[in-house]
Structure formats: C-alpha cells, structure tokens
Amino acid sequence: MRIAVCGKGGSGKSTISALLAKQMAKTKNVLVLDIDESNYGLHSQLGLAAPRDLMEYFGGKKGFKEKQRAAPKQTQFWGLAAENNKGQPVQQQSRFFKERWSFSDLPPEFVEEKGNLKLMAVGKIKDYGEGCACPMGVLTREFLENLDLGKDDFVIVDTEAGTEHFGRGVDKDFDLILVVVDPSYESLKLSKKFDEFGAQCGCGVYFVLNKVEPDVREEMLASVNCVNVVAEIPARRELFKASLKGEELDLDLEEIAKLAEFLEKAGSLTH
C-alpha cells in the first residue's frame, strides 16, 4: 500500500510519518520515502542516518535530466499499459528502470534501515542556484510506478509541504492520502484544497488532526470532513522537544497505534 502524508509546512507531517512508520514496522515491512527536498530531519526522527539521494543512482540531477531528454515519452507505465491484440493487459518498460523493483531489490547504498523499517530520499536541494526540484517529482512518479509491493509491504511517503506534488501528478500513484492538519487558519483552509485534489486524482483522503488542544478540537473538526478524520493527536511537549533537538521519536501513542490499525485494514483490502 502506498500512503501519502501531506500538509502545510509546520503541520507535523514528518512527525506523523515517523511515528506511524515506527509503529507499523512492528508488524509490517515499511519503506519511508522522503520526497521533501527541503526537509533534512526526517532520518533523525526515525533514529537512522541520512540516506544518499536516489537521484545519485541516475548520475545526479544533471544525469537524470539527460536520461529524461533521451528517454521516449510514454503515457503508459507499468501496470497501466493498454491491452495487446489478444485483449490481455501489457506492461510497458519504465523510462528509467530496466526492471521492476521490490523491497528486496532496492539498492542498499541508497537505503538506511533498522529491522522492518527502511528509509530512502529521492533528492534534496543542496546548492544555491542548482535549479528547481522538478526532476525529483519525475523520479518519484517513476519510482512509485516501478515498485512492486507484497501484502505486508507499506510505503509511507513524506511529501513536500503544500500542494506542489499534486501539480506534478505524483499523487495518482497513491492508494490513500493522509492530510495532517494543525490548529492554524492556513492549515484548515488548505485541508479543503487537499480534499479537492484527492477527489481529482481518485485517491481516498483522510485527515489526521495534530497538536490538538481541548479548546480547539471542535473548531478543527468543524473545518474538515469529520467523517474522514481517522486520528486526533494531542499536543505533546515530549514530541515538540524531541523534534526541536533532532532526536529519535521514541514515544508510543495510542492514537498512532489506532491509525496504524486503520491503515493495515485498508491495505488488506487492496490485495
């Protein structure tokens, strides 16, 4: 199952991604895919070293752009190709991957792992004037389309802040979208846009209310689709301090455990 974790900057999407991944890795195989080119702290929240950018597998942004220009444009990808002359579905070759990957095929030099938990990063903006992050969006789409999952495999994608990944078309490859909403006017307004985009790309959208205080809970619920709220994470000083110091998030929350259970049940329906 491929799960996108979205939200505005500062909503806590990386915190939720890390807590959820650690919880689910107790019983499932979990790959956390970091596609936020400006987030440099997710690995520390997971208690892992920072992985090498997957973009380097293709020669960096420059090398990837060259491959992108040379590769034939395709509107059909793995699992989405048209039927052959016998009416049978045909899988086309990815533009960048020579063969399909499963979790066991992931190049180890680009993966940090501990137990059932793996972490990969598509790419980061490292230098002034290096250009936009558009190649990261292309690689993310190609990677997700090329990845085969087993029944106990889950991919949690920590997206970049805001809505740009929807504009790049990345979200069509997700089975489910989690929108992290914090108690701010901007986050509550943006949640409605996430709901619209999810409907447009055919993904189920669910909301995780984060940093919830008793006196704002009802206002937050009233501002989103209450039916689709699948978790309410209370404001916790321990989480704030750990994130501030760049420490591993080593905290078991009942709310996160229930969220993991919901996702595992949803995942079982996709197989």
Q: What integer is the mean pLDDT of 29-55?
A: 92
Is the pLDDT at 233 greater than 70, yes or no? yes
Are 23 and 260 in contact by the 8 Å Cβ rule? The answer is yes
Q: How far apart are CA 174 and CA 203, in angstroms?
A: 7
pLDDT for residue 193: 82
Q: What is the mean pLDDT of residues 49-64?
A: 88
State residue 103's pLDDT score: 97
Alpha-carbon distance of 8 to 180, in angstroms, equals: 8
Which residue spans within 51-203 are E strands per DSSP?
Answer: 112-114, 117-121, 153-158, 176-181
Q: Domains in the chain: how many in total?
A: 1
Q: How does pLDDT run across 182-200, given as a tens digit for each residue? A: 999 899 888 888 888 877 8
Q: Are 32 and 117 in contact (CB under 8 A)?
A: yes
Best-predicted range by mean pLDDT among 14-23, 164-173, 234-243? 14-23
First to last CA, the chain: 9
Residue 49 has pLDDT above 90, yes or no: yes
Is residue 206 within a helix (H) or strand (E), and if so which, with residue range? Answer: strand 204-212
The pLDDT tens digits of the residues spanning 7-20 come to 988 889 999 999 99
CATH code assigned at 17: 3.40.50.300
Lowest mean pLDDT: which of 35-39, 76-80, 121-125?
76-80
Which amino acid would we find at residue 20? L
Number of alpha carbons in the 13 Å side-chain half-sphere of residue 75:
1
Q: Which residues contact 230 (CB under 8 A, 6 or more apart)?
A: 178, 206, 207, 208, 259, 262
Distance of CA 20 to the CA centre of its chain: 12
Q: List the structure tokens of 75.
A: 């509107």
Residue 214, domain extent: 2-268
Structure tokens at 258: 């229930």
The helix-helix angle for 254-268 and 13-24 (nearest 10°) equals 70
- d(CA 208, CA 133) in angstroms, rounded, equals 27
CA–CA distance from 54 to each of 33, 194, 208, 234 (Å)? 10, 27, 29, 35
Q: Report whether pLDDT(29) > 60.
A: yes
Is residue 76 pLDDT above 50, yes or no? no
Output the pLDDT for position 162. Answer: 64
State the DSSP string of 81-102: PPB-TTS-B-PPPPSS-SS-B-
- Specify the higher pLDDT residue, 124 or 140: 140
